[in-house]
Amino acid sequence: MTGSTISSAGLDARRRRLLYRAWHRGTREMDLIIGRFADACIADLSDDDLDAFERLADAPDRDLYAWISGEWEIPNEHDGPVFQRLRAYHFSAKG
């Protein structure tokens, strides 16, 4: 897999940047986890959801992976609807 499966055409600049960041995390595992979620959901996220997704995108790969996998407890500031949606997406048949 080479990256995003959707076109960024039609997305606003903020969503294009987040989509790019989701697929260029630094580790291939996190590219796939965050990138696939972004492909599926980025167009539908509200402004508040985008704020939360940006905060998650700022987290180190190691931490984010440990939170998603359940290895570490997620800090309260990151535990919200977007994280829960990301985690559910990852563990669903779609992810």
Q: Over pLDDT 90: what percentage of the chain?
A: 80
Domain of residue 22: give its range: 13-91
For residue 2, tell me if it sits in a domain: no
Instruction: Say if 25 falls within a structural domain.
Output: yes
Helix (H) or strand (E) holding 14: helix 13-23
Question: Which pLDDT tens digits describe the chain residue by residue (95 residues)?
Answer: 457 667 667 789 999 999 999 999 989 999 999 999 999 999 999 999 999 999 999 999 999 999 999 999 999 999 999 999 999 999 885 55
Q: Look at the chain and report how many structural domains it folds into.
A: 1
pTM of the model: 0.86
Residue 64 lies in a domain: yes
Residue 66 falls inside a structural domain: yes
**79 assigned to some structural domain:** yes
